[in-house]
Amino acid sequence: MTLNLPKPSVVSPTLEDFIQAESNLAGVSKLTPLLSSSYLSEVGGGQVFLKAENMQRTGAYKVRGGYNVLSKLSPAERKKGVVAASAGNHAQGVALASAKLGIKATIFMPIGASLPKVQATRGYGAEVVLVGETFAECLKAAQEFAIKKGAMFIPPFDHIDVVIGQGTVGLEIIEQLPEVDNIVVALGGGGLGAGVAAFVKLYNQANKRKIKVYGVQSEHAAAYPPSLKAGKPVEIQTTPTIADGISVSKPGKVPFELIRKNIDKVVTVSENEIAKAILVLLERSKQVVEPAGAVGVAAILAGKLKLKGKTVVILSGGNMDPLLLQRVVRHGLAAAERYTTISVMLPDRPGQLALTAEVIAKANANVVEVLHTRHGLGLKISEVELNLSVETSGHEHTLEVVKALKAAGLKPRIIEARED
């Protein structure tokens, strides 16, 4: 027996395919808002808007592609049920789409998948099977189950009808902001980027426009740059990244071809840059965005993309475990030098710790942790070393704290920007 995959409805998408997909999604996905960002506009040099797909049903854009492909299944295919493998957003998208169409869905998720995502997937009516320590093990189990049951296996990105469904994000952007000049999108396997880029280029041809589309990847999982250089999908060795939602070792064949033809540029961003972007979105835009959904903002903040005119950045998802959010915020604070460790050598006599804390307080900084050491290399018998974890408002404020400590006759040095 072989793996059953949905038959592609088209070979090469047209504008009409995207318009039909938008019609199919009526009442299933919702029109997410386009939010202006004065802060990002100031940093980026042009007017920046945020397409808030983190506010989409299921918390991500994935329901668009999932529903579009499932809606094209025949009655006989629907009766057999569908199977998917995912650690999060694809799982929820397929689960909701299946519930809307009355199709039995079995979703395989890794044992380590976050509890909120598992609960949400079950909440949409899918049967969840937790298996495998890695996604590869989970995927293998899902495919074996689909073959055994004769059910349809729903790929997360490597299918033209999935791509067309995801591309309705681009259609909505142009409907909401017809004068848009640039669109920035996260790239993992490439479903969203391929759909948006393909639609935009078709729209450009039909309307004599020059809207550009830019892709952004985590530098720890950047399969597209070498693939585009090679002219074919290339498998890479990924390394752990907080942007796990776009951590894909090899582009899908279908999205790769569309991205190769239609996307204007692909850039990568670091872990620190992603963490800073999440922090900015929380503080400035009041948006909770998962790391994979924040890479476009990271590229603008880091100066990787300097775009003129009106730019829309797609916030592709907002499904983040609260514990991960806590860690990422701390990482972002450290990356922005707002959480720093300062070392101060002091004479070992009463009152020195209080003096140091008073100087820091007068500099309007906050001490959150103190490590007091009397023993160590380089310490004299009459000396102690204080390692102080200090919260500041940023790099300049940290330098002011150091200056204040020096003015008080102390000898501070910055050890590191702390992550926790």
What residues act catalytically?
62, 316
CB within 8 Å of 142: residues ≥ 6 apart: 83, 84, 85, 106, 108, 129, 153
Backbone CA torsion sign across 283, 287, 293, 296: negative
Structure tokens at 104: 């039995």
For the CA atoms of 367, 370, 376, 382, the dihedral, rounded to the nearest 10 degrees, stands at 80
Structure tokens at 8: 């592609």
Q: What is the DSSP letter of 167?
A: H
Residue entry with tokens 């290339």: 234
Helix, strand, coil content of the chain in percent (nearest 5) = 45, 20, 35
What phi and psi values does residue 142 have, to the nearest 5 degrees? -65, -45
For the CA atoms of 382, 387, 388, 394, the dihedral, rounded to the nearest 10 degrees, stands at 130
The closest alpha carbon to 96, from 139, 42, 144, 154, belongs to 154
d(CA 15, CA 109): 35
Q: Which amino acid is at 370?
A: V
Report yes or no: 28 and 63 within 8 Å, Cβ to Cβ: yes
Structure tokens at 57: 């049903």
CB atoms within 10 A of CB 286: 8
d(CA 249, CA 418): 30
d(CA 277, CA 295): 7
Could you tell me the end-to-end alpha-carbon distance of the chain, in angstroms, rounded to an integer?
Answer: 51
CA 319 to centroid of chain Cα atoms: 9
